[in-house]
Amino acid sequence: MQAVRVHRFGGPEEMVLEELPTPEPGPGEARVRVAAAGVNYSEVSQRSGSQGGPLPQTIGREGAGTVEAVGPGVAEVAVGDRVVWCSVPGAYASEAVVPAERLVRLPDAISFEQAAAAMLQGMTAHYLSYSTYALQPGQSCLVHAAAGGVGLLLCQLAKRCGARVIGTVSTEAKAALAREAGADAVILYTEQDFEAEVKRLTDGAGVNVVYDAVGKDTFEMSLKCLARRGTLALYGQASGPIPPLETRVLNSLGSLSLTRPSLGDYVATRQELLERSAEVFGWVADGSLKLRIERTYPLAEAAQAHRDLTGRKTTGKLLLQP
């Protein structure tokens, strides 16, 4: 089998495509022949070493494919099942061994490419808008990186909840994509002060919730965009970790709430995983949740996929195919 591995943490150049023995699944595990793997910012952290872990390791946390072997005690899936998973290392490979309890069977209407594009980012958008801050009709939200993989899905789900959606993007082309996804207003943060624009668009009131995966570069202004008793859902840190926070700032800005959620805590049980993924794939299947797959790379070009992702040259989802 082939796998993209790192032997030392660092930049994209540290990712190397290697030949490895085909692994055998142990108890409670299944081996999946990978048809498509998602490319996500969490894998940038995995590759750079900010998440730690033993070396060498295979990069990738999201994949879709066909079960080709199961270990003892597996009841969740069978050989031949079409499946998808996320938040399990080892997806940048031609084969991956995955705990069977983290595998989700795919509906017939969903392709492997759709599955790898929707699993992690779709469920992230789902938990943010339906659980972390459950949007209600008439409320408002600010979505940073609104033309990114999560951003485009989050705009759609926020509109599905009946909210007013304001998005931030870097270019006019990205602004058009965000509007197509349902954003009511789009701010070009490269040309406009997004805090001032949010205040203008909300008549000074601010938004009920900010969904922020950028981190350091947007954090302080994001807090100032919130309405009284608003919530900042900081679900990523693409620009780096936020500075230390004196919690009285939250009080002085209007009894604000700050949360740092992650997908793992919102699919902690198999029931949660199946329920949340079923809703996402159901909406993809009926066409009410639209995916944007910008580009698919061969495994050997995983480093270039990371460069494109971190260089903010992309919109929607990037995939790898063995």
**pLDDT of residue 58 exceeding 80:** yes
**pLDDT of residue 25 exceeding 90:** yes
pLDDT at 211: 98
Indicate whether 32 belongs to any domain: yes
pLDDT at 41: 87
Strand order in the sheet with 15-19: 15-19, 2-6, 57-58
Q: At residue 141, what are phi and psi to the nearest 5 degrees?
A: -140, 155
Beta-bridge partner residues of 140: 164
Indicate whether 69 belongs to any domain: yes
Within a 13 Å sphere around the CA of 233, how many CA atoms are in the beta-carbon half? 25
Residues 196 and 274 in one domain: no
pLDDT at 240: 87
Domain count for the chain? 2
Query: What one-character DSSP code corresponds to residue 234?
Result: E
Residues 166 and 231 in one domain: yes
Q: Which of 231, 260, 289 is the last residue of a domain?
A: 260
Q: Which of 240, 260, 280 is the last residue of a domain?
A: 260
Note down the domain range covering 192. 137-260
**pLDDT, tens digit (0-9, with 9 covering 90-100), for 181-211:** 999 999 999 899 999 999 999 999 999 999 9
Residues 29 and 98 in one domain: yes
Q: Average of pLDDT values for 290-310?
A: 95
Residue 40 Cα to chain centre, angstroms: 6
CATH of the domain at 27: 3.90.180.10
pLDDT at 1: 97
pTM of the model: 0.94
Residues 10 and 111 in one domain: yes
Indicate whether 127 belongs to any domain: no
For 196, the enclosing helix (H) or strand (E) is: helix 194-201
Residues 193 and 222 in one domain: yes
**pLDDT, tens digit (0-9, with 9 covering 90-100), for 239-276:** 888 999 999 999 999 999 999 999 999 999 999 999 99
**pLDDT, tens digit (0-9, with 9 covering 90-100), for 307-320:** 999 887 778 899 99
CATH of the domain at 240: 3.40.50.720
Residues near 269 by Cβ (< 8 Å), separated by ≥ 6?
Answer: none
